[in-house]
């Protein structure tokens, strides 16, 4: 079966899916470590719906999908990450509202414009039918996301750990928050084309929440989350190949298995976390 899988990878579409998928798995888990401990888990979900709405609008207008979706999602990401400061509407309800609203707008536009946008593809992704253009975008932008994160990781940690202290000691907290919004938006917009609106948030949340079961430090959480994410992706891809299941769902199942494994491991090393 292993040889068959490698033969399968000889095919362009499978190899493209592998490369893009691994990069997405790394980016999504990195950002998860920024968002999940701050209780921003649902932001990925909300933003992917905003991305869906924006893509629908773009395709109805005949505009380039990414050129419309990226700025819209960056703005939405910035607003959602800032929500807690204003506090008129609570963060979780605001995300749910924006999420449902954007999804509804997207579906309405798709149905009214009668365009043949592949709704199923947006919902569940189409990792195995990554176009050349999507592939190039992913191979250029994902490494940039990873590099920026690697360079500013101590600062991003400090600002997400204690923003008031960071500001009080003269850090440019707004800059890093904006940077994080952009990284999140880029990852989600490109990621949703691959994994689908419904599954992208799983890719963001699972690896970091699993890593947090067993890790104490931020650094080890990042490394563990990235490793778990890539392993889950690879297992999911093999699984989907071996038993012909949808690839997105297979990856999420593998992430869930990882999560339960980490819970068990965490319980045995006496970490008292939920």
Partner 1 sequence: MILNCENVSLSYDGRTVASDINFTVNAGDYLCILGENGSGKTTLINAILGLKKVAGGKLSYGEGVRAQNIGYLPQKQSSNADFPACVREIVRTGFLGKRGFRPYYSKEERERAENVMKTLGISDFAKKSMDELSGGQQKRVLLARALCSAEKLLILDEPTAALDPIVTEELYEMTKKLNHEEKIAVIMVSHDVAAATKYANRILHIKHEQLFFGSTEDYLETELAKAYLGGHGIDH
Residues near partner 1 (CB under 8 A) are 33, 37-39, 151-155, 157-158, 160-172, 211-212, 215-221, 273-274
Cα distance between residue 156 and residue 149, in whole Å: 8
217 or 244, CB closer to partner 1?
A: 217
Q: Largest Cα–Cα distance of the chain, in whole Å?
A: 58
At closest approach, how far in Å is the CB of 98 from partner 1? 23
At closest approach, how far in Å is the CB of 84 from partner 1? 11
At closest approach, how far in Å is the CB of 156 from partner 1? 10
DSSP secondary structure code for residue 40 in this structure:
-
Cα distance between residue 15 and residue 19, in whole Å: 6
Radius of gyration of the CA atoms of the chain, in A: 19
At closest approach, how far in Å is the CB of 213 from partner 1? 10
1 or 85, CB closer to partner 1?
A: 85
Closest CA to 137 of 247, 33, 19: 19
Residues near 18 by beta carbon (within 8 Å), at least 6 away in sequence:
9, 237
Under a CB-based contact definition with an 8 Å cutoff, are residues 70 and 185 in contact? yes
At closest approach, how far in Å is the CB of 212 from partner 1? 5
At closest approach, how far in Å is the CB of 168 from partner 1? 4
174 dihedral zone (left: phi>0; alpha: psi -120 to 50; beta): alpha
Under a CB-based contact definition with an 8 Å cutoff, are residues 222 and 30 in contact? yes
53 or 266, CB closer to partner 1?
A: 266
- How does 247-272 read in b/e, with b if 16+ C-beta sit within 10 Å? bbbbbbbbbeebbeebbeebeeeeee
Residue 219 burial (CB count, 10 A): 13
**Residue the block writes with tokens 């798709």:** 110
62 or 170, CB closer to partner 1?
A: 170
Half-sphere exposure of 5 (CA within 13 A, CB side): 14
28 or 102, CB closer to partner 1?
A: 28
At closest approach, how far in Å is the CB of 24 from partner 1? 22
132 or 216, CB closer to partner 1?
A: 216
37 or 246, CB closer to partner 1?
A: 37
13 or 152, CB closer to partner 1?
A: 152
At closest approach, how far in Å is the CB of 192 from partner 1? 26
């Amino acid at each position: 079966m292993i040889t068959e899988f490698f033969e399968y990878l000889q095919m362009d579409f499978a190899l493209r899916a592998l490369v893009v998928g691994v990069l997405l798995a790394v980016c999504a888990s990195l950002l998860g470590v920024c968002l999940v401990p701050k209780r921003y888990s649902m932001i990925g979900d909300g933003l992917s719906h905003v991305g869906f709405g924006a893509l629908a609008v773009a395709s109805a207008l005949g505009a380039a999908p990414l050129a419309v979706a990226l700025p819209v999602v960056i703005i939405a990401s910035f607003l959602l990450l800032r929500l807690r400061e204003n506090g008129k509407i609570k963060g979780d309800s605001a995300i749910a509202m924006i999420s449902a609203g954007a999804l509804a707008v997207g579906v309405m536009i798709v149905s009214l414009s009668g365009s043949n946008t592949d709704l199923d593809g947006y919902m569940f992704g189409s990792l195995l039918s990554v176009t050349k253009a999507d592939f190039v975008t992913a191979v250029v932008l994902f490494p940039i996301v990873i590099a920026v994160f690697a360079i500013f990781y101590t600062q991003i940690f400090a600002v997400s750990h204690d923003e008031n202290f960071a500001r009080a000691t003269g850090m440019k907290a707004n800059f890093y928050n904006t940077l994080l919004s952009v990284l999140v938006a880029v990852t989600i917009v490109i990621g949703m084309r691959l994994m689908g609106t419904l599954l992208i948030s799983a890719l963001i949340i699972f690896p970091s929440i699993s890593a947090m079961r067993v890790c104490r430090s931020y650094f080890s959480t990042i490394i563990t989350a990235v490793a778990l994410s890539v392993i889950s992706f690879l297992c999911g891809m093999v699984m989907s190949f071996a038993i012909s299941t949808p690839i997105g769902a297979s990856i999420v199942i593998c992430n869930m298995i990882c999560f339960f494994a980490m819970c068990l491991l965490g319980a045995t090393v006496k970490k008292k976390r939920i």
